[in-house]
Amino acid sequence: MTRSSRDTDAMARTLTGWLAGHLPDGADVEITLSGASDSNGMSSETILADVTWTADGSRATHGYVIRMAPAPRDVPVFQTYRLDHQYEAIRLVGELSDVPVPTPRWLEATGDVLGQPFFFMERIEGIVPPDVMPYTFGDNWFFDASDADKRRLQDSTVRAIAGLHSIPDAATTFGFLDVHDYPGGTPLRRLFEKLRSWYAWAAAELAPSPLIDEALGWLEAHWPTVDTPDNVVLSWGDSRVGNCLYVDFEPVAVLDWEMAGIGPRELDLGWIVFAHQVFQSISDVFGMPGLPDVLRAEDVRATYAEATGVEVGDLRWFEIYSAVIWGVVFMRTGARQVHFGELAEMPEDVDTLFHHAPLMRALLAEVSA
């Protein structure tokens, strides 16, 4: 999928001048940019940067990753992108926990330099279970690993989530992530209203989704009892194995913080379970075995309880909430594919854009039975 229409050569020239102002005199900055992997990610632009400069008489090259908000002409997935919030969340996680995150280096929050905000963070070497094609399809390092190594990766990722949730006083420390522009008496209620607004924005360009409308109605009618003041943690937001870099089946970097917020711990747990269910359901459609024993809800809950001492209950509400978010993402990526000519035209039935539609229908049928 095409993610950007930017001219990387022109970007490198602009960034060279900008970085020269952030490094000592005589640094003689050189920047080489290259595209990130096409196997993961569909929203913020991710660009690899090799930055060479002279310091104390020695010249060295340093590897970074640039995260940048997409240009409006490229049909962004989200309504707004707060790169300053992503930067600060990563910085605080690195400072306040043992959860591995890249070290953020330089932030340009105004958009005056490249037209959109961006930041540099250190580049960490590791491998990631691919999204394209989904890791459940086979022929990749994670699928081919032993059952013991798959479980080690799963458990270590859940423990990383537990580490994020263990950062104290999240409502204050990460209060900047609370979406106060939306109504509601709790962070989860405000996130839910933000989701409604985002969906309405996507539907205004395409059409309403009967599946999303049904799911939103069910979520409203069955509001979770865990939405309480004592259950507010830092939420990674996009807690997937596809958003971690791994070495020896252990995470060495937790990535992609554009959906970070605060709210119940079940947000991240429901998301990681549902995200795997999506990929497993796609492999089911194609008659592939997939990985049905990976990231089962009961196993995730057990590992989380062992790591935190907190027992969480049924995650179904949060899985359906996740399904709605995935649906809106697919609406926006569908619009992007039409924009870049990768899809001839928008289908009349918006729900056909949803790769997870069968799974979503099954979940709604289950809770409505």
Active-site residue list: 238
Residue with the two structure tokens 């947000």: 267
- Three-class secondary structure of residue 52 per DSSP: strand
How far are the Cα atoms of 191, 207, 351 from residue 210, in angstroms, in the given order?
21, 9, 7
The full length of the chain comes to 369
Neighbours of 238 (CB within 10 A): 21
DSSP letter for each residue of 139-171: SSTTTTS-HHHHHHHHHHHHHHHHHHHTSS-HH
Tell me the HSE value of 64 on the side-chain side, using a 13 A CA sphere.
24
Which residues neighbour 123 within 8 Å (Cβ) at sequence distance 6 or greater? 48, 49, 63, 64, 65, 102
The count of other CB atoms within 10 Å of the CB of residue 80 is 12
* Integer Cα distance of 282 and 349 in angstroms: 19
The sheet that has 45-55: what strands, in order across it? Answer: 30-35, 45-55, 58-68, 118-122, 104-108
Neighbour-count burial of 193, counting CB atoms closer than 10 A to its CB (0-12 exposed, 13-18 middle, 19+ buried) = middle
Around Cβ 90, how many Cβ atoms within 10 Å?
Answer: 22
DSSP 202-271: HHHHS---HHHHHHHHHHHHT--TT-STT--EEE-SS--GGGEEEETTEEEEE---TT-EEE-THHHHHH
